[in-house]
Amino acid sequence: TSLPGACACVTALTLSGLSTRRFAFEAFLPSDKKLRRKILDSLCTETRTVIIYEAPHHLRATLQELFAALGDRRLTICRELTKIHESAMQFTLSEAIYYYEQNAPKGEYVLVIEGRNMADLEQESQRCYETSSQRPRCPKKGNLSTIIK
């Protein structure tokens, strides 16, 4: 376990096993659909570890949205931090979606999501430049059925 600090985001980050060097704390994603989409699109090229809070009744939908926006990134889902039923489980986004289709979310969640690999982002930017494309995009966006197979 991790010694509780001033906030759940830092506790979750230390438990996650993901990079702790740099992180972006998003708190709860906004409920406004346009603003939410804009934030998710901006996270597509984020190289820092991303931390998001989520309520149990929104978790499944948020995981689907994250998968559609970011692809199948690694994440750690922390639940009920500093309480008796504390847990931290490591998944890919597709594995987390499958898990929570089978298991009802309970408690408050902190999602710690792996940042985009900087070398991959630079290679993609170079390819985009060479082919005069607009901007780098996340790989394997939104195709859950092919990734699960």
Residue 70 has a pLDDT of: 92
Residue 2 has pLDDT above 70, yes or no: no
**For 74-114, how does the pLDDT look when each residue is reduced to its tens digit (9 = 90+)?**
999 999 888 888 899 999 999 999 999 999 999 899 999 99
Residue 74 has a pLDDT of: 95
Residue 145 has pLDDT above 80, yes or no: no
What is the C-alpha separation between 115 and 118, in angstroms, rounded?
A: 8
With 0.95 as the threshold, say if the pTM is over it: no
What is the C-alpha separation between 149 and 147, in angstroms, rounded?
A: 6
What is the C-alpha separation between 117 and 39, in angstroms, rounded?
A: 19
Residue 26 has pLDDT above 90, yes or no: yes
Taking residues 5-18, report their average pLDDT. Answer: 84
